[in-house]
Structure 1
Amino acid sequence: MPESAVTIIGLPGSGKTTYLAALWAILNERPRDAALRFRELGAGDRSYLTEIARRWRSAHEQERTLPGIRVVTLHMSGPADEPVSVTFPDLAGETFVRMWVDRTCSKDVYGHLASSGLLLFVNADKIAQVAYIRDAANLARLVGETLTAGEPVAWDAETAPTQVQLVGLLDALRSQPFEEKHRRVAIVVSAWDRAEEEGTSPEEFLAGRMPLLAQYMRQNLAGWDWRVYGVSAQGGEFDPADDRKPRAPNVDRLRELSTLAERIKVVGSDGQSNDLTEPLAWVLG
């Protein structure tokens, strides 16, 4: 059975585990119109997949992904009913923060990042933007205050804007010891239900909110193929993982939908669907 490796990457809270949970839940319903159809689980912790899918079905946020690597292999069928085996690791977002900050990773992580297929997740609702002094000065002027000089703030790589960290991460994948090779990269803008009210396409959203990342990808330095997808894998706000916190408004609406697929929205260059395998199928080529 042909096997392809796809690595899901992204900073903490970018939606990687939510996507995997929704994918596992939906695939087990055996949708006939999906680009990829599930056959069986080849490798991976079924209890872990079952638990994250259970939380997704009940509309609860996922627990924080623990450090380490959980490797999942899914045996599926492609559009022509050809067998495809896809292996991808579920890596904690902190893994990629450390790659950006320390410029290093373990041998195990290196092995997974050598794959030619990448799903890069960006949470539309959690993009840390560049802070400009002129913007702070304009705001102070509007409220009748004056900015005063303060103590210099030391550079902290962990607080760098989201797009800066992601460009640094992608650039590391073009550098030694990684091979500079052709890759297919799907940039997945998660929580798309929070972004679509801006009335832009996923490509326009990326260019407007993360211009550095968009420009970096357009340079196509290593011949990478790339696309941008807007993905809502929840359909709305979930109840928090901590039951002591207030419940999300309108969450019962999600639980009352007649099918799980109604929560899903995938927007790409080919239009809109509720097929979570669409970005994955494109990455596989």
Structure 2
Amino acid sequence: MRLVTPAGTLRVQGSPPDQAHARTDPTPLGQTSVNCWVGGPETLLGWLETQLGLAATAPLACQRITELVRALPDEPALAFADSLRCDRWRAAAELLRRRDELELADWSQGDPQQFPAIARDLCAGPAMVELKFPSEAARLHAVLAALASGQTLPAHVCTLDEGIARRPALWQCVLRQLNVVAAAPSRCLAPEGTALREAQECLLHEHEMTLAPDQSVRWAATRSDAAACELVAQVLGNDPEELSGGVIYCDDDALAIRLDACLARRRLPTMGPLPLIRSISSCR
């Protein structure tokens, strides 16, 4: 997404809410970089909260999980009681993830008897206890309430990389109150006839990918995060002159930290997620 205001530009890349992270982005030649941010839905939500005078402090995931861990009682009748007994932290994290997804879908909690057992317990049980640290859905409800009370946003144009219909229901309610336009369609830039071009076309058109690697792209798969990090570090170590031209995308922050450790052991430049490490340490 890209949000243009009289003061500058806010660009927000569409991504799943649980993987949204603000980052800087080089500004194209001839385009102003005043008030320009790049990130996910969290960046757009933070902008909305700032404009509407709402509390804009996003809680850390570990804070919300810890709060739910303490709030969940030991009730053997719950569908997830065994999971809580085996690994309380992991079970609470999974329950919180599912609850957040339901709330973003604007779940009314309707008739719980129509739902599976785990959903019934999520609806009627202690897993729905109100937490001190707000969820993304709670923050969106606060934005909607502020707009409904008569508050207005500054003039803006929000350019979406993906259509509104592809976002969760609660986000759709918010986006419909913004001045939204569609982004220019993405184009495949890899040379014709290459595996990389085929992969780009499959991703853009959401086709099933049957990739036959060639000189343009290589594909490696493993179920082990450690093995994946070691492989990437070894490949980079074999050709250190090309490091400056490479881009590494990690699926989550923990994986980035693990990859940094592998790179550091080989005395290679690291990505340096130090702010994240500090935030994790502060939660312990």
Asked if Structure 1 and Structure 2 have the same fold, meaning a TM-score greater than 0.5 normalized by the shorter chain, the answer is no
Structure number with the higher helix fraction is: 2
Q: Which has the larger radius of gyration?
A: 2
Structure number with the higher strand fraction is: 1
TM-score by length of 1: 0.32
